[in-house]
Structure 1
């Protein structure tokens, strides 16, 4: 492999995405992109094998000059590559496993050729490297989906802010700014069930409820953001995750509430989408490894 290329990997709840990122330009070679479904409830052996197959399927992949950066959900011991995930309905079989060591053995490389980073941090790092937050020295990021990912960047490498469990309106903030909030809000109004947020915007019968539900969501998000902004003083806020695709329905409310609080921090939607975490994981070699050159 070219010395300047790094294998970037994004581990999702049901898939793995991998590809080559050029560290000179921070750009993903889209022709190298590989995406495979993974049964995250399967055995450790089957999960590691799927990861191995995806990485080895990358066009241009080789063990020569191999460097792999992996965006991984937590909880996880990132420096040592040990999974601490349990009771989340995914990757339970990896709990306590030296994932870095086992994956390195499967690939036939040294474990020092692989390192893991938090997926929320990698999302923001990718946007800083070549997306919506490039040219900014201070940024915060949120991924809005089945859960809440939060991260901060202050000039080196983004880090997980881990605010999903922050106290909020008698519960935790993730209960108010994630998919499950929409599911519950819709059930309360209609007595019916939806599984995904996009059902509110795509199905005609739901559109009558969408405006009010999204407005309340925007108010919740703004209330949370006010504290986050005051703590971190970012120059820009980047939103990602599936819910951010419906920005037109909630972002005006968020901006209205922030304006009233005297906060004018620009809010941008991800430019890299699902590729952000992969690119961020690859770019971590620039700041965390001296031997990437």
Structure 2
């Protein structure tokens, strides 16, 4: 069993993952991303120690959002609304000192990269040569995968392969699409704000939105509240408008959406589809994806099985490429040249993540078990 951690903006999960992409045991605990560094690390370690067994001398795989130095294990969070107390902290050293079982090492991986790697190995991206993954939650995570290799440069990719570094109308994407952006815009709308550019960035609009989270806004949209629906449509529409041309340039045949907001797929998919189409990447309407029952929601495929070493079409999951995950001094493999060919519209799939949290745990296990 490979021990792993997935650290998110609201929770941390410790798990044991088998080499056959099965999550055998897990412990999930809440996490306050705005707490002091020692409290955040303490919560992570307590979660890890709650595992019933942790293999002695094992190498742990850890999925964590950026900005983060994945090669050295040093946190670089700044101006992202989470984990900022960890800036400059050697997280690897803290984990090696406190994890159970006297671990032999700790390997880090970007959480969105881990998510897409897991979905490619055994989930919604299985069978796709070129796929893009987006996670929607506290922030926006992204990953671009071609032939089983994760890329950070190439046609259509944002700086460093990170959609959170993209800009919409001159503003950082996460000021338009993220938990804090949606809450701020919802509050501003209640106060009579005019939307983007009218002071609805992070930190504004808290009066009307006090005590309201994205989940409640989604419930209000389903109940017919026009303001809630308008705010969500604007956020996911803006994301689709930015992603559409990038997916077309990358030659993607699948866009896999995960994260907590994907649970409201009925509210995410329609505006996202419309904007993706307008941006030049038209998903196939109602088309099947690997593992989907006939007549089922195309965003909810049935489970598919694979192994960490063998993905679709015999491809190999390359756990350390090219995000630098691994021990210090380990050189990531070179990114292979890309030759994207524009896929026909009928082959494109917009799908909700199949594996959920398991995808990130599986992707983290790939780097943990690679040492």
- Measured against the shorter chain, the TM-score band is 0.7 to 0.9
Query: How far is the alpha carbon of 1:139 from its aligned partner?
Result: 0.8
Q: 1:21 to 1:186 in 2, by over 3 A?
A: same
Any gaps of 5 or more consecutive residues in structure 1? none
Query: How far is the alpha carbon of 1:90 from its aligned partner?
Result: 4.1
Query: How far is the alpha carbon of 1:156 from its aligned partner?
Result: 3.5
Q: Could you tell me how far apart the structure 2 residues matched to 1:215 and 1:47 are?
A: 34
Q: CA RMSD in A?
A: 2.7
Using the TM superposition, name which of 84-93 and 168-177 deviates more. 84-93
Q: TM-score, normalised by structure 2?
A: 0.67
Partner of 1:73: 65
Q: For residue 201 of structure 1, give the secondary structure of its aligned residue in structure 2.
A: helix
**2:244–2:277 contact (8 Å) kept in structure 1:** no
Q: Could you tell me how far apart the structure 2 residues matched to 1:80 and 1:227 are?
A: 34
Q: Could you tell me how far apart the structure 1 residues matched to 2:110 and 2:151 are?
A: 7
Match for residue 51 of structure 2 among 42, 58, 65: 58
Query: How far is the alpha carbon of 1:86 from its aligned partner?
Result: 3.9
Count of residues in Structure 1 that have an aligned counterpart in Structure 2: 280
Query: How far is the alpha carbon of 1:62 from its aligned partner?
Result: 2.6
Query: How far is the alpha carbon of 1:262 from its aligned partner?
Result: 5.4
**2:54–2:100 contact (8 Å) kept in structure 1:** no
Q: Could you tell me how far apart the structure 2 residues matched to 1:88 and 1:140 are?
A: 22
Q: 1:268 to 1:105 in 2, by over 3 A?
A: same
Q: Does 1:94 align with 2:97?
A: no
Using the TM superposition, name which of 91-100 and 10-19 deviates more. 91-100
Query: How far is the alpha carbon of 1:39 from its aligned partner?
Result: 4.6
Q: 1:200 to 1:49 in 2, by over 3 A?
A: closer
Partner of 2:312: none
Match for residue 15 of structure 1 among 4, 11, 16: 11
**1:122–1:158 contact (8 Å) kept in structure 2:** no
Partner of 2:21: 26
Q: Could you tell me how far apart the structure 2 residues matched to 1:159 and 1:262 are?
A: 20
Point out the structure with the larger helix share: 1
Query: How far is the alpha carbon of 1:36 from its aligned partner?
Result: 2.4
Query: How far is the alpha carbon of 1:88 from its aligned partner?
Result: 4.6
Partner of 1:256: 274
Q: Could you tell me how far apart the structure 1 residues matched to 2:267 and 2:38 are?
A: 43
Q: Could you tell me how far apart the structure 1 residues matched to 2:35 and 2:174 are?
A: 27
